[in-house]
A and B are shown apart, each in its own frame.
Chain A
């Protein structure tokens, strides 16, 4: 069923009796060509591109809970491509372009809003670093604009410009960046994948990988064994657990990232804003809530909740940047488990086990990457070779020293 304005009017006139569930609830078949483990944003996007772009018709997504119940429903919905390094920027710009056409591609309203992102800087050295990053972005075909303090003040007069320690000296803007409704992204990908014949099997936990003579033959699940020619793992947050079933140790630690939303307010924030002197990023949802977050808690955890010191740190950062939010009340807060990799960049690659493929290590930047991650993982699964924009995301780059470390902090996952 295609969605359109005409369809909405027709349903309104006929008592809304024509709306149907947008994906099936199938029982698993005995064998698939490709199984994707994980019904989150990346897994569903992989299924969508596998079926729509790469022509794979015999595909299943297996999800232990319900689709979109993990990190794709827990992030702060920011979409951007403001990276610097060669291994990253072409990939994220590819993702940004996919975001721009996503709603047409999926025939689904993902509430994509290109409201822009402003990264503030507070010192001359930081201005230099942002200028360099902006130039790298432009060289890779993305958009970037450097604003001085007066230009920032014109657009965002409510910020705390004259802080004694961290005065705002300007900002790097990416106008094409913005936000998208994260649940709708998961649902849109699921609906499209289902309509192209993908079986989305929910409440089906993978409990083991059947590997014989170095080849992956399928997955053991709570609904029995399901055979497959190829198995792709897209379970970021739980990558250590699932790949551990194949006896693999990964260059990844699992950490919790907390996110927060205030009560609904009248429109106050026209774009996404990040603080350059602390870790704080904020946007305003269409319902009016200020959606914000900061650092990860910093210790290994699989619990989807964090501790209070980070809550305090995030709120301090917010109030230092825009004192007005001190008057808003916090409505909800939650945590999501992140794959923090050893260089802060993701992995999309084959594994030493034949027929087993891995997608993970997204740190806390996975949401913006959703379409490109799915596209590139689908490319890898369908063609057995990496997509041209994802060739740097190799699993063995830590062994060979080809790290992609945007922040330059080395093998300390909780600092990325």
Chain B
């Protein structure tokens, strides 16, 4: 697979390590009433979609950036690559 890095251009997927579903950007509030339940859900449960899947890749052998890759899990076709930083900020995750 080739991941089209937003800053570096097309890179071999072997340069990256894979973390998993991009929903892991949405870390729950540890002070919330339902924090235990929310963290169980966050840490262990996955949609595990067949089809378009948004996921976190880390450019370990490159610029050490985290990416959100949108990839079809039935064909391995990659339709979109974003910096995880931008995705997280757009969701109000960090200032």
**A pairs with B:** yes
- A residues whose Cβ falls under 8 Å from a Cβ of B: 238-241, 244, 249-254, 298-303, 307, 309, 342, 398-399, 411-414
Q: Which of B20, B44, B76 is A398 in contact with, Cβ under 8 Å? A: B44
Beta-carbon contact of B44 and A254 below 8 Å: no
Among candidates A250, A399, A412, residue contacting B48 with C-beta atoms closer than 8 Å = A250
Evaluate whether A411 and B43 lie within 8 angstroms (CB atoms) in the complex, with A240-B48, A240-B49, A240-B50 already known. yes
Per the 8 Å Cβ criterion, residues 56-80 of B in contact with A are 71, 73-76
Nearest 6 pairs of A and B residues by beta carbon: A240-B48, A309-B14, A398-B44, A249-B45, A251-B44, A302-B50
Measured between C-beta atoms, what is the minimum distance from A406 to chain B in Å?
17
- Secondary structure at the A interface, as helix, strand, loop or mixed, is mixed
Say yes or no: A251-B46 contact (C-beta < 8 A), given A301-B76, A303-B74. yes
**Cβ-defined contact, B46 with A249, below 8 A:** yes
Determine whether B47 belongs to the interface, using a CB cutoff of 8 Å to chain A. Answer: yes
Prevailing SS type, chain B contact patch: mixed
CB-CB < 8 A to A398: which residues of B? 40, 43-44
* Distance (whole angstroms) from the CB of A273 to the closest CB of chain B: 27
B45 to A303, Cβ gap below 8 A?
Answer: no
Asked whether A300 and B73 contact (CB < 8 A) given A241-B50, A253-B20, A413-B20, the answer is yes
Query: Which residue of the partner chain, among A238, A251, A299, A302, contacts B55 with CB atoms under 8 Å?
Result: A299
A252-B76 contact given A298-B18, A299-B18, CB 8 Å threshold: no
Q: Given the complex, which residues of B lie within 8 Å of A414, measured CB to CB?
A: 18, 20
B13 at the interface (CB under 8 A from A): yes
- Residue numbers in A under 8 Å from B12 (CB-CB): 309
The reply to whether A303 and B18 form a contact with Cβ atoms under 8 Å apart is no
Known: A300-B55, A303-B73. A253 touches B46 (CB 8 A): yes
Q: How far is the CB of B19 from chain A (nearest CB, A)?
A: 8
In the complex, chain B residues whose CB is within 8 Å of the CB of A252: 46, 48
Residues from chain B with a CB closer than 8 A to the CB of A302 are 50, 73-74
**Bound CA–CA A240/B14 (angstroms):** 26
In addition to A241-B48, A254-B48, A399-B44, 17 A-B residue pairs with Cβ atoms within 8 Å of each other are A239-B48, A240-B46, A240-B49, A244-B48, A249-B41, A251-B46, A252-B48, A253-B48, A300-B49, A301-B73, A301-B74, A302-B73, A303-B73, A307-B1, A309-B13, A398-B40, A398-B43
- Return the chain B residue nearest A306 by Cβ: B76
CA A252 – CA B46 in complex, angstroms? 7
B40 A300 Cβ-Cβ under 8 A: no
B27 to chain A, nearest CB (A): 14
What is the CA–CA distance of A194 and B28 in the complex, to the nearest angstrom? 50
Most buried by A among B49, B55, B75: B49
A254-B73, A413-B20 given; A399·B1 CB < 8 A: no
CA distance A72 to B48 in the complex (A): 22
Considering the chains assembled together, what is the distance between the CA atoms of A254 and B78 in angstroms? 17
Closest residue of chain A to B57 (Cβ to Cβ) is A299
Can you offer 24 A-B residue contacts whose CB atoms are under 8 A? Answer: A241-B50, A249-B45, A249-B47, A250-B45, A251-B44, A251-B45, A251-B46, A252-B48, A253-B20, A253-B21, A253-B46, A298-B17, A298-B18, A299-B13, A299-B18, A299-B55, A300-B21, A300-B73, A302-B50, A302-B73, A307-B13, A342-B43, A342-B44, A413-B20
Whole-angstrom CA separation of A301 from B12 in the bound complex: 18
**What distance in Å separates the Cβ of A357 from its nearest Cβ neighbour in chain B?**
19
A303 to B49, CA, bound (A): 12
The chain A residue sitting closest to B42, CB to CB, is A411
Selected contact of B75 from candidates A250, A299, A303, A309, CB within 8 Å: A303
With A and B bound together, what is the CA distance between A254 and B48 in angstroms?
Answer: 7
CB contacts (< 8 Å) of B74 on chain A: these are 301-303
- The 0/1 profile, CB within 8 Å of A marked 1, for residues 13-35 of chain B is 11001111100000000000000
Nearest CB on A from B20, distance (A): 7
B20 lies within 8 A of A303 (CB): no
B15 nearest CB across to chain A (Å): 10
Measured in the bound complex, the distance between the Cα atoms of B71 and A302 in whole Å is 12
Taken together as a complex, chains A and B put the C-alpha atoms of A253 and B56 apart, in Å, by 14
A302 to B50, alpha carbons, bound, how many Å?
Answer: 6
Which residues of chain A come closer than 8 Å to B53, judged between CB atoms?
Answer: 300
* A280, chain B: closest CB distance, angstroms: 18
Q: Which residues of B contact A250 (CB under 8 A)?
A: 45-46, 48
A299 to B78, CA, bound (A): 13
